[in-house]
Every structure is written in C-alpha cells, then in structure tokens.
Amino acid sequence: MTQRQATPSLFNIEAHGPTLVVRIDGGPLQLFSADVALQLEALVDRVDKDPDVRAVVFASTHPRRFMSHADVKWLQEGGADYVARQQTGAPPPAPAEGYVGLDRLHAIFLRMNSIGVVFVAALEGQALGLGAEFAWACDLRVMADTDAFIGQPEVLMGIMPGGGGSQRLTRLVGSHRSLVAILEGKPFTPAQALEFGAVDAVVPKADVVARAIELAHHLGKRDKAAVGAIKRAIYFGGSLPLPDGIKLEAKEFLTLNVSAHGQKVMLAYQRKTAELGELPLYAPEGYDAALRAGQVV
C-alpha cells in the first residue's frame, strides 16, 4: 500500500518564552492554501491545549508579503466540484481528511477568536483577500510603515470575501467604511489602516516582529482562562442584542468566578486589602505593577 506523504511543514516556529513566533512559508507567491489552513488548524489546537503558550505572533518568510491571498486553484476547484454535485443531485460525500472548505476554514478562525491565546499578525508586507482575513481573525495587528498594504480585492474578480472579511473588517472599522473599501477593492495604506482602526500599530518594517512580540508578551501575561472568556464575550457577544450579550458575559463571568483559580485570587485580594489597609489597585504603584505583571501583585 502506498502511504500518503506528509506535507512539509510550512510553519517555522520559534519559542520566545510563552510566545510562539510562527513564520509562514506560502511558497514563492506566498499563497494561503489548504495546506496552510490545515497546519494553522493543528497549531491552534496545540496552543489551546498547552498552558505554557500564552500568545502567538504570525509573520512571513516572504520578503514583501504577509500573505498574498487564497490559492485561486483551491477556490476554483472547490466551486466546480460543488456545482457538479448539484447538477447530478448526488448527496455530498463525506469530506476527505485533508479537505478544507469554507466551514472548516471559518471554524479555524472562530476557534482563534474563542481561546485564551493572544494572536498577533506581524504585517511586514502586503496582505490581500484571505491573507487580510487571516490578519482580521487575529486579536492584534502590527503593520510596517512602508511596503505594506492590506485589503479585500475580491470584487475585482467578480466575487466577494469568503473568509470572514465582510464581517470582521466591518467590526473593526464600521459598516460604511468597510462597505466602501470592499466595493472598491482598494487596500488600506499603513496610515489609513491605523487611522481607521484596522491595525493597532504602524512601525518601521525592521521593528514589526519585535513590536508584535512585545504586545504578545504584555497581553499574554493575563490569565489564560480570563483571556478566553473575554474574547468570547466580545467577539461573539458584541454583535448580539444587548440582553443576549449580557447573558453571554454573565455566563463567562460566573464560570471564572466559581473556578478554583478565581476564588484563590479573590481571597488573596481580600487578604492584601487587610494587610495594606487599602485596596491593592489603589495603593501607591499598585495599579501600574498589576498592569506590568498581568495580575494583582
């Protein structure tokens, strides 16, 4: 029996303490392919389960591109196969193990939005289409001040964003600005992206990864369970009607409140208050120390 060859690793992973720096190799054209999606899925699963990993910085091996866009052959063949099945009336077969359709792709990005790991996109270069949607799915984005742009060009090919761009970009920059950008198909410059809230920092190209690691380290100091709960409440509750969003927040809060760790921290805070005769966050330097450490000290 012929064994299926394993796909070569497209992810070059370096550990920087609790932060992983992942440089993605999408080939000479830096395409977001099905293999990239599968390796991303495996990475997200790994970091979710590893208590020692608090943040992930995504960067690129390409000198000018963060991620070009989706591999169009992947999109075209998937669409053609779908039409063929529809025309024959045949029920869809069970997907092959390595098949990545929209549902699976969306599930990967949504899991990134739901776990207690901080994801940072280090945009040293250009990002279009699914490359931009991958960046929107991260929690933070740091962009180079030169040789970089980011946007959704799908309308120029007679299609539209399919990896969540119309939804995540809208939540970042507002509905009208997102509509105009996606209708025109023109990417944001670094200055526009920062002004509109599409990225969190613009720095010299040589400093992008270092700044992304700095942000990852800083936010990664927060409790991993709390980070996950906050992400779910904001990503999934922020677009719900207010009463439903409040219910989701309450569920996440109560889960943390009754946990062994939550009870331990609150009892420690009470003891510290009695010891100081003041609330620890109001004590001299108390708040600044807590921000630096990621917890009340």
Task: Label each residue of the chain as H, E or C.
Answer: CCCCCCCCCCEEEEEECCEEEEEECCCCCCCECHHHHHHHHHHHHHHHHCCCCCEEEEEECCCCEEECCECHHHHHHHHHHHHHHHHHCCCCCCCCCCCCCHHHHHHHHHHHCCCCCEEEEEECCEEECHHHHHHHHCCEEEEECCCCCEECCHHHHCCCCCCCHHHHHHHHHCHHHHHHHHHHCCCECHHHHHHHCCCCEEECHHHHHHHHHHHHHHHHCCCHHHHHHHHHHHHHHCCCCHHHHHHHHHHHHHHHHHCHHHHHHHHHHHHHHHHHCCCCCCCCCHHHHHHHHCCCC
Residue 3: band (very low, low, confident or very high) from pLDDT cuts 50, 70, 90 = very low
Mean pLDDT of 25-37: 95
Give the model's pLDDT for residue 4.
Answer: 40
pLDDT digits (tens, 9 = 90+) for 184-225: 999 999 999 999 999 999 999 999 999 999 999 999 999 999
- Say what the pTM is: 0.92
pLDDT digits (tens, 9 = 90+) for 223-259: 999 999 999 999 999 999 999 999 999 999 999 999 9
More confident residue, 102 or 3: 102
Sequence-distant (6+) residues with CB within 8 A of 162 are: 75, 102, 130, 154
Residue 181 near residue 188, CB atoms below 8 Å? yes
Token pair recorded at residue 22: 């992942």
More confident residue, 83 or 39: 39
Question: Quick one: CA dihedral 217, 222, 227, 233, positive or negative?
Answer: negative
Domain ranges, ordered by start, for the chain: 11-220, 224-293
* Mean pLDDT of all residues belonging to the chain: 92
Asked which of 118-132, 218-232, 280-294 is least confident by mean pLDDT, the reply is 280-294
pLDDT of residue 78 exceeding 70, the answer is: no
Give the model's pLDDT for residue 111.
Answer: 98
pLDDT of residue 90 exceeding 90, the answer is: no
Sequence-distant (6+) residues with CB within 8 A of 50 are: none
Burial (CB count within 10 angstroms: exposed 0-12, middle 13-18, buried 19+), residue 243: exposed
Q: State how beta strands 19-24 and 11-16 pair.
A: antiparallel
Residue 101: band (very low, low, confident or very high) from pLDDT cuts 50, 70, 90 = confident
pLDDT of residue 158 exceeding 90, the answer is: yes
Distance between CA 176 and CA 130 in Å, rounded? 21
The CATH class of the 11-220 domain is alpha beta
